[in-house]
Structure 1
Amino acid sequence: MKRFEWRDRIAGMDAEAECREIVLILGSHEFPWDFEQALGLALYRTYAVPSIGRLLADTKEFTERPQHRYDDTALILNDIMEFGFEPGRGRDALRRMNQMHRSYDISNDDYRYVLSTFVVMPVRWLNDLGYGWRRLTDHEIAASTNYYRRLGRHMGIKDIPETYAEFYELFDSYEREHFAYTDGGRAVSDATLGLMVDFYPAWQRPLVRPFTKALLDDRLIEAFGYPEPSAAWRRLADSALRLRARVVRRMRPRVEPRLARQSPNIRSYPDGYDPSRIGTFPQGCPVPHGLATREVPGTGAQVPAPGQAVASASPAPPQAPATTAEDAAER
């Protein structure tokens, strides 16, 4: 397989009809590590919006159970991207995400901003900052934009931007208008940084924390009240990532996909998981929180692990409407 074969395959695909398949190739073959970093930073940025930072801090989930929240977010978004919006594992993950969101009072504007971070941050990381082994093409950016527009419709978000340029304008203007320090946002940020540092061996951690903070732009540093990273750390972090990009460019293309559920940083479900049973159940859902499951060999089916109770009811909160956003979007 040639180094640019995936790029050439994508060029022959439809950026609208096959947008999910294109994003899946980008995220699991071309740029798996880069997408993980960029989308992680996308979610991290949202803590600097006071309404989001306070909400996440009030739930205590991101400060007291950051590993579970990291895992659940990555796995749910991965299952939607990998399996799609049709009935099945992808639809189950989408429903689970929507059920969690409906448990809280989240404005449509905040939803739109969060969606914009997923569209903008991979392009910023790979193209604008130059951390990708190659640049995303305009065709790929259009496909990614279309995918997240489709995801937004399934989430019931209104007034979704139509183009990448419109998403970028929303992203930039919303941050300029709303980013501000809150104790809640800082607490969630600290917990998330602590989790990121813990992914590395103990001897590396004293270096990982300042390296990571050096990747935060001035907006984030100010919003979280962190000291300005030194110019030396800024240069080191930038140079290291650019060097990595040059090395990766000379590597063979990835034939087998690397999916989020295969990451060693995902630690909460060593025996497998059912996307309809992970996440938070803040309104007394009858499915036990943190239910462990195992996969039946050769079938892909998930069943309760030994010693786990079997839930007798749907994982949806009792008051959840029968027609969900993702169902309506299909009609």
Structure 2
Amino acid sequence: MTPAEAQKIIWTSSLYDHPMLVEKALEFALFKTYGIESISKLLLKTGQLSKDTNASRRYVDTAVLIQTWVHIPITGPGSGIDDLPIGADPRGAIAVARTNWLHSKYAISNDDYLYTLSLFILEPPKWIEKYEWRGLTPLERQAYFVFWSEIGRRMGINNIPETIEDLVEWCEEYERVNMVPSQTSKVVAELTTALLLYHVPPFARSFGKQVVATLCPERLNKAIMVPEPPAWIAKSVSAVLNLRKLFIRHLCLPRYSPQCYVPFDTTGLGTPGVCPAGVSVCPISGKQGPNGGPVYRLHPFYANNDPWYMSSPSALGQITTRVLVALGVCNPKAALGSQFKPEGYRTEELGPAFFEKSGREEVLANAEAIYGGKITGPWAF
């Protein structure tokens, strides 16, 4: 099985059968890494979690990068595709290259990289088996392993185990040694829990924290110093998820179009930075691409927390949001606009605001090596 074949196999679960749960499994996979003191200490040191807007932007940028790796067709050396398809989308390669550049600014051990990668491989199948209307087939489980292992190689991660069984064994031993109670892990987990509960009304946040704890394994809760939730909450969460499982299995039709956080097919979706006055590129806010044309930007299909990169809402949408905020069922920050870059995002600009325009040459060189050719078209930079 090649990584390109594996990617197409996992699309069945990640885009059609279990998109919401796969997304949440990846979110909790990242959350689980905060139980490792070396990882949580680095995150605190960056300062990207201590300020609300920094934390929410990091959360959204991470989601965009991961979803782009998974859902944009993989190409280039190691993909199993010999020749670069004409018009192949380069965003997946750019997302990996941008991540590599951002990570290069920090001292991260290979074991910490490998542990994070192992959770991306192991957690989605685990969550699907436990909470979804159908489990994965052995072929699908192997596809997760093959695809994510190639992503790891593109990130320069060494010593990736050659089988799922070996990876499970390595991951268990790493957690046994390194996932221990830590004050820094506790702080990072608290900051991230606030993002996970962004859409939960204030009056229900305390209960929401108990639900998050229910979804975390006991070892992680001990590492982040969170007491085990009451048994009745654990049973209630399990009952709700089992009801959801039965409802989807017996009462829902198959999904006929992919559900993806980032645009899967960008035909006609890019937003150029053109001037509404009619000139080709606005002399104030517009920017030119490498070929003299407009710079195209994209918008996520829904807001994970703060509305980063979301299009400005219509007049009706603004009124609806204000009413929901007034009723206390919508976060007040959802009514804000310009500070969250409604013009959209460019993959090569994702990351902390102070890095937004940095590293372009290095990212492009790495992206073209990963992509397997020169990057042209609307996503060139």
TM-score of the alignment, normalized to the shorter chain, above 0.5: yes
What is the 5 A alignment of 1:160-239?
A: 160-239=160-239
Q: Does residue 86 of structure 2 align to residue 47 of structure 1?
A: no
Q: Deviations over 1:212-241 (max 9, x none)?
A: 212221101110111221111111112211
Using the TM superposition, give the Cα deviation of residue 167 of structure 1 relative to its aligned residue in structure 2, in angstroms: 1.8
Structure 2 residue identity aligned to 1:90: G
CA-CA distance at 1:57 after TM superposition: 0.9
> 2:44·2:50 contact (CA, 8 Å) conserved in 1?
yes
Query: Structure 1 stretch 160-169 or stretch 321-330: which is displaced more?
Result: 321-330
**TM-score, with structure 2 as normaliser:** 0.70
Task: For residue 61 of structure 1, give the secondary structure of its aligned residue in structure 2.
Answer: coil
- Looking at structure 2, the residues matched to 42 and 30 of structure 1 have their Cα atoms a distance apart, in angstroms, of 20
SS at match of 1:18: helix
| 1:15-58 deviations in Å (ceiling 9; x for gaps) | 65411122233211111111011111100010111110100011
Q: Which amino acid aligns with 2:352?
A: T
Name the structure 2 match of 1:21: 8
Amino acid at match of 1:255: Y
Match of 1:81 among 41, 66, 70: 70
**Structure 2 portions without partners, runs of 5+:** 76-88, 263-300, 311-341, 374-381
How many angstroms apart in 1 are the aligned matches of 2:103 and 2:303? 27
**What root-mean-square deviation, in Å, do the aligned CA atoms of Structure 1 and Structure 2 show?**
2.3
CA 1:36/1:328 → structure 2, altered by over 3 Å: closer, same or farther?
closer
**Separation in 2, partners of 1:330, 1:162:** 25
TM-score relative to the length of structure 1: 0.80
Structure 2 residue aligned with 1:258? 259
Deviation per CA, 1:276-311: give whole Å up to 9, x if none: 0111266xx471xxxxxxxxxxxxxxxxxxxxxxxx
**Deviation at 1:137?**
0.5
The one of 94, 112, 116 aligned to 1:114: 116
Choose 196-205 or 132-141, whichever is displaced more.
196-205
Given that 2:69 and 2:96 are in contact with CA atoms closer than 8 Å, whether structure 1 keeps it comes out as yes
In the alignment, structure 1 segments of 5+ residues that lack a partner are 1-13, 288-314
- Stretch moving more, 196-205 or 144-153: 196-205
Give, in angstroms, the shift of residue 322 of structure 1: 8.4
| Contact 1:89–1:275 under 8 Å retained in 2 | yes
Taking the aligned partners of 2:104 and 2:351, their CA distance within structure 1 comes to 13
Contact 2:33 2:116 survives alignment (8 Å): yes
The answer (yes or no) to whether the contact 2:97–2:363 under 8 Å persists in 1 is no
Alpha-carbon distance in structure 1 between the residues aligned to 2:96 and 2:249: 34
Distance change >3 Å, CA 180–CA 326, structure 1 → 2: farther
Gap change, CA 1:329 and 1:184, over 3 Å in 2: farther
CA distance in 2, matches of 1:55, 1:76: 20
Kept in 2: contact 1:154–1:329 (CA 8 A): no
1:253 Cα offset (Å):
1.0
- For these two proteins, the number of residue pairs brought into alignment is 286
**Which of these residues, 18, 22, 26, is aligned with residue 35 of structure 1?**
22
Q: Distance in 2 between matches of 1:204 and 1:103?
A: 38
- Give 2:197's aligned amino acid: V
Shift of 1:263: 3.2
Q: Residues 159 and 232 of structure 1: is their aligned pair in 2 closer, same or farther, counting only changes over 3 Å? A: same
Instruction: Indicate how the Cα distance of structure 1 residues 281 and 205 shifts in structure 2: closer, same or farther if over 3 A, else same.
Output: closer
Contact 1:153 1:329 in 2 (8 A): no
Give the conservation status (yes or no) of the 8 Å contact 1:79–1:93: yes
The one-letter code of the counterpart of 1:263 is: Y
Aligned positions of 1:264-279 closer than 5 A = 264-265=303-304, 267-270=307-310, 271=342, 272-279=344-351
In the TM superposition, residue 321 of structure 1 has moved relative to its aligned partner by 8.8
- Are 1:39 and 1:118, in contact at CA under 8 Å, matched by a contact in 2? yes
Q: 1:169 to 1:329 in 2, by over 3 A?
A: farther
Structure 1 residues 292-303: aligned runs within 5 Å: none
Aligned to 2:359: 316
Which of residues 86, 102, 106 is equivalent to 2:104?
Answer: 102
Q: Deviation of residue 76 (structure 1)?
A: 0.6
User: Counterparts of 2:368 and 2:113 in 1: how far apart (Å)?
Assistant: 15
Within-5 A mapping of 1:281-292 = 285=355, 287=357
Question: Using the alignment, how far apart are the partners of 1:325 and 1:91 within structure 2?
Answer: 5
- What is the alpha-carbon distance in structure 2 between the residues aligned to residue 91 and residue 138 of structure 1? 28
Give deviations 1:4-23, integer Å, cap 9, x for gaps. Answer: xxxxxxxxxx5654111222
